[in-house]
Amino acid sequence: MPESPDPQARPAARPGAAVAGVLSVARALPALLRDIDALLCGWQARAAAIPDPELRRQAQSSLTAKRFHCEGGGVYALAAGPAAARASRFIVALQTISDYLDNLCDRSAACGAADFAQMHTAMREAVAPPGPARDNGDPLRFYRLHPNREDGGYLDMLVHTCRAEVCALPEAARVAFTAEAGLLVGWYCELQQYKHLPSGREEAVRRFAEGLASHAPGLSWYETAAATGSTLGVFALFASAATGALTAPLARRIRRAYFPWVTGLHILLDYWIDRTEDSVGGDMNFTFYYRGAREAAARLRTFRRRAVSAVADLPGAAFHRTVTSGLPALYLADPKVARQGLAGDAWRVLRAAGPETWFLYWAVRWLRAQGTLRPVAP
């Protein structure tokens, strides 16, 4: 799909505001990463106590190999102000559910679409309105169709942590959050239900994505599908809700700003740097549907431009712009880019992204050199 001018693009933010947003996030990042690490250590201790060996292995693997997801998503706690600790607990717990279930669907002995859907009711419950959990809180309900079940309450504890933070939100903000987050999480869970199928997955994902065409006009089915695979919109909603400022109209604005452009940028970058390993592993990678790496890079530039434009009118726009500009920095600074021969295309994306992304790119490289920030994968 060729790159074309964006008729809806807004003027770039004032340089002073952009620099201030970047510096604010950069200054707060080391302390935030320490807090996220402490939360992950707590979940690692719980994962180590899981009775079933296979569930324990997948839980521990997800916390180790995918901890970058929690570190990156945790940045949204900075937008929650005094409620940053509450936002961090929610973000880490929800992302840990996502990564653990992804491992179970992708790397473990699952039983097909019905099993995938049943396990992902955990994510749906995690952002559900306050009230008793389904099935009277039976901790094994998520594994009803799975061959391994005895997790010592691990997944239920993750869900309970999310729900406790949702319940603690101010009432109006909670109602607004659960409505829009429920929509995004529902799409995410449907994607996971189909994309891990051993056969017929492309047709199933295509049907699902084409059903969302009204929410992502002008995108290909595989770009729409990619956009449903991100949790960033949910984190942005929770950060706003934690401050008490979230209303139903604002929640809709945040959801529409993030989906499909910010969430699509996020997941397409993630898939783009995983091209080699996904090819070897036979995993579904949405960037394989482009005509080549160059077209994928061109679409990444378009997604980045549209994402920055989409968040420009949100409250705290400088923060959202910084995070959006930081996505290419986080992913394109990863060592996997050079190993796959994608450095030239990465430079083109970075060059088009502008000075904010360049600054964050070198900041990410410095943090990784210091051992403060880990690569996307070991």
Joined together, the tokens standing for residue 148 give 């391994």
Quick: pLDDT tens for 80-121: 999 999 999 999 999 999 999 999 988 666 678 899 999 999
* Angle (nearest 5°) at CA 254 between 166 and 307: 130
pLDDT for position 10: 47
Task: Give the integer Cα–Cα distance in Å for 79 and 89.
Answer: 14
Q: Residue ranges of the alpha helices (H) in 127-200? A: 154-167, 171-195
Quick: pLDDT tens for 299-346: 999 999 999 999 999 999 989 998 898 899 989 988 888 888 888 888
Task: Give the integer Cα–Cα distance in Å for 94 and 162.
Answer: 6
Q: Is the model's pLDDT at 217 over the cut of 90?
A: yes
Domain ranges of the chain: 25-369
Split at pLDDT 50, 70, 90, the class of 20 is low
Task: Give the integer Cα–Cα distance in Å for 266 and 272.
Answer: 10
E strand intervals along the chain: none
Task: Give the integer Cα–Cα distance in Å for 214 and 100.
Answer: 31
Task: Give the integer Cα–Cα distance in Å for 303 and 286.
Answer: 14
Task: Give the integer Cα–Cα distance in Å for 181 and 109.
Answer: 29
Mean pLDDT, residues 150-158 taken together: 96
Mean pLDDT, residues 265-273 taken together: 93
Domain covering 25-369 assigned CATH 1.10.600.10 in the classification: yes
Task: Supply the pTM of this predicted model.
Answer: 0.91
pLDDT for position 133: 55
CB 30 within 8 A of CB 372: yes
Quick: pLDDT tens for 48-78: 999 999 999 999 999 998 988 998 899 999 9
Non-local (6+) Cβ contacts of 364 within 8 A are 326, 329, 330, 333, 373
Mean pLDDT, residues 28-48 taken together: 92
Q: For residue 247, what is the DSSP state?
A: -
DSSP 38-58: HHHHHHHHHHHT-SSHHHHHH
E strand intervals along 277-330: none
Q: Is the model's pLDDT at 240 over the cut of 60?
A: yes
Amino acid code (one letter) for 7: P
Task: Give the integer Cα–Cα distance in Å for 273 and 217.
Answer: 26
CB 342 within 8 A of CB 272: yes
Joined together, the tokens standing for residue 269 give 């970058």
Q: Is the model's pLDDT at 13 over the cut of 60?
A: no
